[in-house]
């Protein structure tokens, strides 16, 4: 097992690389690294120009991994993502032309602009880390991370992701506008030349696999586990919620909390790890009763109210039993 100090230094190296390009957004960067550590996927959602694609590219350049970017549009086909078998006339046989999903980090830009049929082509690869083409199944490389982006304010020509697909994403994260000081630094940093091409990888695939292998070893005290389940159960009994968090959501919250603890230099989950991740991990899994879709801000406020009502376990020593 990698020492906690070594894990922290390796992850800090990624943060330092990303910080050369992305100004501020420490919490968002941490959430992206949590998804990477916990072998999850995430949606970056915000208005255009807030740095969603830039953050994904900065992460990819900081890792010595394969990276593919797909611009999702209404005319994109499932085979454009997974690949196709084509007939090679010279060889006289069918050969597989692999699609962009055969990579380590897949940036699905503006995912909600593709039709539901094309969106669904990601379901198998996100959940099972494999792709089926013409009846043949191909395993995907490890690590495999899907970073999808969405524009929440422009509905023309978009196809909202169904709840079943949203549930495949570990987290939904909002970039937010920069502060005035941060925007000043953005202008200063980018008005000369783009710093993105100068980023160098600091971890390779083997390093990432070793880091990911440490997440299941992070202990979660039974009291913390019950605290987490109390929050999840409350989403299923609330008078304002039509569809609460599924067991998949509970499991994703545990894994994310373990990854956050590791990122913070601990080998045990604290209640603060759970509280910090309730909104990004659970909000997009909830369907409100009086709406066809979900009001993300209202859902976040509802979750905050639930968390405020659940007693937090004391920390007599919430490390390992």
Q: Which domains does the chain carry?
A: 1-217 (3.40.50.300), 218-313 (1.10.8.80)
User: For residue 309, what pLDDT is reported?
Assistant: 92
Parallel, antiparallel or unpaired: strands 287-288 and 241-243: antiparallel
Cβ atoms within 10 Å, residue 157: 10
Q: What gap in Å lies between CA 4 and CA 26, rounded to an integer?
A: 20
| 168 contact partners, CB below 8 Å, separation of at least 6 | 41, 122, 123, 126, 127
Residue tagged 């049929």 (tokens): 117
Q: Give the pLDDT mean for 16-40.
A: 90
Q: What is the pLDDT of residues 258-300, one digit of tens each?
A: 999 998 888 899 999 999 999 999 999 988 877 655 567 888 8
Q: 172-182 pLDDT, tens per residue?
A: 998 888 889 98
For 19-28, 155-164, 220-229, which range has the lowest pLDDT when averaged over its residues? 155-164
Query: What is the Cα–Cα distance from 147 to 260, expressed in whole angstroms?
Result: 18
How confident is the model at residue 153, as a pLDDT? 63
Which of 98-107, 253-262, 281-290 shows the lowest per-residue confidence on average (mean pLDDT)?
281-290
> Phi first, then psi: what are they for 281, rounded to 5°?
-90, -35
pLDDT of residue 3: 66
How far are the Cα atoms of 88, 98, 106, 131 from residue 85, in angstroms, in the given order? Answer: 9, 8, 21, 13
Higher pLDDT among residues 186 and 47, named by residue? 186
- Per-residue pLDDT for 240 more than 80? yes
Whether the predicted pLDDT of 28 surpasses 60:
yes
């Amino acid at each position: 097992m990698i020492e906690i100090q070594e894990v922290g230094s390796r992850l800090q190296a990624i943060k330092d690389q990303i910080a050369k390009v992305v100004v501020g957004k420490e919490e968002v960067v941490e959430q992206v690294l949590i998804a990477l550590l916990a072998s999850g996927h995430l949606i970056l959602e915000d208005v255009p120009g807030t740095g969603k694609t830039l953050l994904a590219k900065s992460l990819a350049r900081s890792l010595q991994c394969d990276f593919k970017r797909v611009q999702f549009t209404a005319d994109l086909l499932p085979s454009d993502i997974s690949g196709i078998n084509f007939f090679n006339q010279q060889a006289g046989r069918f050969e597989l032309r692999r699609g962009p999903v055969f990579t380590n980090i897949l940036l699905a830009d503006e995912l909600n602009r593709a039709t539901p049929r094309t969106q669904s082509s990601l379901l198998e690869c996100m959940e099972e880390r494999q792709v089926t083409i013409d009846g043949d199944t191909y395993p995907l490389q490890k690590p495999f991370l899907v970073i999808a982006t969405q524009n929440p304010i422009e509905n023309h020509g978009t196809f909202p992701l169904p709840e079943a697909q949203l549930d495949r994403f570990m987290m939904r994260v909002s970039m937010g506008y920069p502060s005035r000081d941060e925007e000043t630094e953005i202008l200063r940093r980018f008005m000369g030349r783009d710093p993105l091409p100068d980023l160098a990888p600091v971890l390779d695939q083997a390093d990432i696999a070793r880091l990911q292998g440490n997440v299941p070893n992070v202990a979660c005290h039974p009291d913390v586990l019950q605290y987490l389940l109390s929050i999840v159960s409350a989403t299923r009994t609330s008078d304002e919620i039509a569809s609460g968090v599924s067991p998949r959501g509970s499991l994703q919250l545990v894994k994310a909390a373990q990854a956050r603890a590791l990122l913070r230099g601990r080998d045990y989950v604290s209640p603060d790890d759970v509280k910090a991740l309730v909104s990004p991990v659970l909000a997009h899994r909830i369907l409100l009763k009086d709406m066809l879709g979900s009001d993300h801000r209202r859902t976040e406020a509802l979750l905050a109210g639930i968390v405020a009502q659940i007693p937090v376990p004391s920390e007599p020593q919430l490390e390992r039993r």
